[in-house]
Amino acid sequence: MARPTVALVDSGGTNIASVSYALERIGADARLTNNPADIRAADRVILPGVGAAGAGMARLREAGLVEVLHEVEQPLLGVCLGMQLLFAHSAEDGGTECLGLLPGRVVPIPPAPGLRVPHMGWNTLTNLHADPLTEGLADGERAYFVHSFAVPVTAHTLQTTEHSGTWSAVVRSGNRWGAQFHPERSARAGARLLTNFILEVSP
């Protein structure tokens, strides 16, 4: 059986190479692209990202990919900043209108005694709702995070994490998923999530 094809959207994030390598390790046929035809033709689409929301959205607009991502019918996974860009609005950069594929607002993580912002390092995951994307990830599984802004818990939250509050770690709305942590740096948990996305989720 042919390996599922994955369009890895070239959003300019510094984590693209490591995401691509992680996909290769699990047997996915991943292609870095900003070509709308490639994105529409792929079996799966991943939107990675590192950095600020304003710059991330500017890159997508310049590449003409905002409308393309709205048209995607196959499974779509946003990673780190890519997850945040799936939402309607981010408070970052003085306020940034994002893709609006999921309802809600990305907000800054507030400072708290003894806790560093940005939230950087390994943290535990808590399951709220079962989903093919998170199958095999138990409560207490650890994943690697790097972020200063976060998505509050909503009806679309599948998993949460704690850092100066409770935040969405994995989200879903229809055929659109997001992971706030870096699966490419999250060892077993990250490999399982990516494998589930490639092989288990349905359009």
Model pTM score: 0.94
Which of 80, 119, 141, 147 is catalytic? The answer is 80
**Can 24 be counted among the known catalytic residues?**
no
Q: What is the pLDDT of residues 46-93, one digit of tens each?
A: 999 888 999 999 999 999 999 999 999 999 999 999 999 999 999 999
pLDDT at site 23: 86
- Across residues 114-131, what is the average pLDDT? 95
**Can 182 be counted among the known catalytic residues?**
yes
At 37, the pLDDT band (50, 70, 90 cuts) reads: very high
Cβ atoms of residues 171 and 101 within 8 Å: no
- Across residues 139-150, what is the average pLDDT? 97
What backbone torsions phi and psi does residue 195 show, to the nearest 5 degrees? -60, -45
**Can 184 be counted among the known catalytic residues?**
yes
Give CATH for domain 5-199: 3.40.50.880
Separation between Cα atoms, residue 6 and residue 170, nearest integer Å: 20
Which of 98, 147, 163, 184 is catalytic? The answer is 184
> What Cα–Cα distance (Å) separates residue 36 from each residue in 60, 68, 70, 116, 137?
11, 6, 11, 39, 33
